[in-house]
Structure 1
Amino acid sequence: MTAAAVEQDQVFAIAEEVFAAMIDGEPGYLRPWEGEVPVPAEPLAAWVDVHGELAGRAAVATDVPTAHELTRALLGMGADEPVGPEDLQDAFGEVANVVGGNIKALLPTQGTLGLPEVASALPAAPAGALTHELRLDWRGRPLVVVVSLFQ
């Protein structure tokens, strides 16, 4: 697999489309992060694995408070409405699932997506994986999209 299989600008375009369509209802709230991304006090990652001739992983990582805001926005919840663990798992996992599905469509051969997973840390990519890490700003909050292509 070549590095050209998925380019960083393509990943940004996908993330921007997903956030505009699913979360914000309009474009403009997701942009590149300026400077270093702060280390989250309460990290949370959601990912899907792509299986097939070309395998990989698409992930979204942030902190728990931002994941709660994403869940509220995706589910149309009130600003102060508490987010339960099931809603968080479903909504944050769905964001990674849609990003992953769109990234899978960029690959020269189509595989299948695994089920979304959500945990406090992203599993390590296998040795030799080509990884793109896109640091983003969603409404002033840091968010990272990670795409790993496995050899």
Structure 2
Amino acid sequence: MSTDVATDQVLLIARDVFSSMIDGEEGHLNAWDGPTPEVEDAVHAWVDMFGEISGRAVLTTATPTAHDLARALLGLPADEEVSHDDLVDAFGELANVVGGNIKALMPDAAKLGLPTVAATVPVLDGALRVQELALSWRGRPIVVELWVLLGAA
């Protein structure tokens, strides 16, 4: 997750993950048109990466969108209620796969932590956000952030 991970690489990763895991086809996840939107009623999923360059990959979206993503990933009917455990499993798995693909771009085959899902993301002391990519999944915002831990070795 060096600072040279390009926005287009992250977009390609996210598109591949969503087309294979969520939509079953391409075309439903695109770059957000305009400035990064404020996400209301947000839920966050992240994975930490450890290695020569350490940091965090974070996915953020509105809770209703996270529920729809969980339904799609788990093959649930559109009207089925999503349990907290299913939301954590599904949205965490999306962060895990996106983060794992980003980790593959890192120069030192870093290790990936376990995914975490919560209403807030704890501060990663000494980290700098090096990437923020706003995406549109079926017209709804999903924000991907990459953080690098400064001074990590």
TM-score after normalising by structure 2: 0.92
Alignment partner, residue 44 of structure 2:
45
Residue 64 of structure 2 aligns with an amino acid whose one-letter code is P
1:2 & 1:144 partners in 2: Cα distance?
Answer: 19
Partner amino acid for 2:3? A
Say if 1:57 and 1:148, in contact at 8 Å, map to a contact too: yes
Structure 2 partner of 1:110? 109
1:131 aligns with 2:95: no
Residue 117 of structure 2: SS of its match in structure 1? strand
1:50 touches 1:56 (CA, 8 Å); kept in 2?
A: yes
* Secondary structure of residue in 1 paired with 2:56: strand
> Could you say what secondary structure the match of 2:38 adopts?
coil
Report what 1:18 is aligned to.
17
**Cα offset, 1:128, TM superposition:** 5.1
In the alignment, what sits opposite 2:8? 9
Q: How many residues align?
A: 150
Indicate the percent of aligned positions where both proteins have the same amino acid. Answer: 53
SS in 2 for 1:106: coil
Segments of 4+ moved more than 6 angstroms: none
Deviation, 1:37, is 4.0
Please state whether the residue corresponding to 2:105 is helix, strand or coil.
Answer: coil
The unaligned stretches of length 5 or more in structure 2 are: none
Q: Secondary structure at the match of 2:66?
A: helix
Residues 56 and 149 of structure 1 are in contact (CA less than 8 Å); yes or no, is this contact kept in structure 2? yes
